[in-house]
A and B are shown apart, each in its own frame.
Chain A
Amino acid sequence: MTDAFGFAAAALSTQRRRTLLSLLGVTIGVAAVVLLTALGEGARGFVAAQFEGIGANVLAVAPGRVKTGGVPAFGHTTTDLSIADAVALRRALPHARAAAPLVVGVDEVAHGARARSAMLLGTTADMRTIRGLELASGAFLPEGDWDRGANVAVLGARTAAELFPGTSPLGAQVRVGDWRLRVVGVLRPRGLHMGADLDEAVFVPVATAMRMLDRRSLFRVLLMLRSPDELEAARATADRLLVERHGREDFTLITPDAIVAALQGILTVLTLALAGIAAISLCVAGVGIMNVMLVSVSERRAEIGLLKAVGAGRGQVVRLFLVEAALIAGAGGVLGAALGWALAGAVRGLFPQFPAEPPAWAVGAALSVSLLVGLAAGAWPARAAARLDPVAALARR
């Protein structure tokens, strides 16, 4: 068998350009599979990173009973979810990595003559951990300010840039309705996060926000656990605590990992679809190999006749040509895998948040499919070679 490899390699080396061209087809096909699956994986990783913290290990508490699906019981008005509830939840879950109440509203934010509409997020210091917020300058909301509500604000990147073009907003005052807030921090640009553009947000202490927005209930309490494994226990604890405090189950506990799982599923399908499309180019490459092999067989009729004259059986001739096809496909596949790997690496270099790592299964599948394509493409030419009549082949008739 190694002799067959030597023979085939020598045969291919005499038609270098043609061999390289058909090899290139496989290279492109395999590189496409590797790169596209890497991009798919990158998208998955990117989304996973976006959901990190808010994803698998965050338990959210919402006021009202929305999960039973039925009509809310008559006569039962929804009890508010209060800051006191949030404080109690944090106490009840001392091992939680972070806990933050959240109240949301939209209002006009102004500085001097400039004004813009902004999303007002009332929360506490822990929100920084939960949403993975990074500061461009200043500080985030003060620790421990749950009930007092200082008149301070942290601006999203775009809000800061629009209200304070060219100057630092730190220490300046912004107006929200009748309220005046001192800017203590500015966030780094962040972009869309869970459907909200945090760059346009204004973060204020939760008690301040409730007064400004005239709310009696929180929108959410977010409890970030150390790992998803702690979710169930935390859920039970929160449930018990709130039932005890409210006297009934008028709240909803939400774990967003179901959403994450669904999204991840969609992205997996997307990755597979990309791989499938790229695999079509492998089939095209197979046609290229078949073409080259057919030309090769017809050009080497005399040689094939000679091989038969010196005793090569049909099976042996078939094997020689199959090995040639497999060599083209195999070499093209290895080059393609390397190329795809390099391109994925380049993507990671350009977009570090985008973990475009080619999955091992895709590289393996691309290589084995390319080999199979090579063998399939070589089958017909090899058979044609084996069936050549040696007399006609030697006589070039």
Chain B
Amino acid sequence: MIRLVDVWRSYSLGGQELHALAGVTEDVLDGEHVAVMGPSGSGKSTLLNVIGLLDRPTRGRYELDGREVSDLDDAELSRVRRDRVGHVFQAYHLVARLDAQRNVELPMLFAGVPRAERHERARAALAEVGLAKRSGHRPSELSGGERQRVAIARATVLRPTVILADEPTGNLDRAAGQQVLELLERLNHGGTTLMVVTHDLDVARRARRVLILEDGRVVNRLAGHELKSLAEALAAKRVEP
């Protein structure tokens, strides 16, 4: 479970304080599917980065699976990140010189998984996202949707408890986006917690819960099917649940 208590993430820019997150308190239960929406600059990516242990809160508490993680040292942090969290980015972030197979193997490389097992698990993960036949292809030889599926295979190969996707369909057309979402939802049905940042109402509506962010704060929470438009969700601010 993810538990954020009064989490702040502040930047000081030329003497001025800028709060990308300004006191977020939120629980995300195991196996939940949560969408995060909000205007540009409202702190969605920052929230995901903090949850995904790529960023540290300036202040506040963060518990992941019952463990306080905001003051772990670098080595412990990377271990938790590796074992518990899978990241999916809008820009895929595949390593261009490595083929799909090797990109998927990357997390296992740092986890010290033996070569043969690494190979086997990467193949299985690629098969799960329907790319068994493309394992020898480099990112430049794959379509956007295929690249994102490779990235999902990479994010899931170590069986994390949480998958964090920051606009995973942002660069994809409808059909490819649909395929990617279905993959993510399948993982979610298997018990993995899924958080998706999106600007796409259709994407957000598929979530069980939607968090609306504004100026670094969660200003509204609603069920996916209740979501009509971002403007309306912002207007109907319900700060406390």
Q: Which residues in A have some Cβ–Cβ distance to B below 8 Å? A: 3, 7, 10-11, 13-14, 302-303, 305-316, 390-391, 394-395
Contact = CB atoms under 8 A, between A and B. Distances in A.
13 contacts: A303-B95, A306-B106, A307-B110, A310-B154, A311-B83, A311-B110, A311-B158, A313-B74, A313-B75, A313-B79, A313-B110, A316-B110, A390-B55
A387 B81 CA distance: 16
Nearest to B46: A391
B54 A391 contact: yes
Interface string B76-99: 001101110001010101011110
B109 A308 contact: no
Contact of B78 (A3, A7, A10, A313): A313
Given A305-B93, A390-B54, A391-B54, A310 B115 contact: no
A310 B75 contact: no
B111 interface: yes
A314 B75 contact: yes
A6 to B, nearest CB: 9
Contacts of A14: 96-97
B49 interface: yes
B74 A314 contact: yes
B52 interface: yes
A394 B97 contact: no
B180 to A, nearest CB: 18
Given A3-B109, A391-B54, A310 B97 contact: no
B145 interface: no
B216 interface: no
A305 B87 CA distance: 12
A11 B78 contact: no
A10 B55 CA distance: 29
Nearest to A305: B93
Interface string B158-170: 1000000000000
Contacts of A3: 109, 115
B106 A11 contact: no
B179 to A, nearest CB: 22
Nearest to B118: A3
Given A311-B110, A394-B91, 15 more contacts: A10-B97, A11-B97, A14-B96, A305-B93, A309-B54, A309-B81, A310-B87, A310-B154, A311-B81, A311-B158, A312-B82, A313-B78, A314-B74, A390-B55, A394-B93
A394 B89 contact: yes
Contacts of B52: 309
A14 B89 CA distance: 24
B106 A308 contact: no
A392 to B, nearest CB: 10
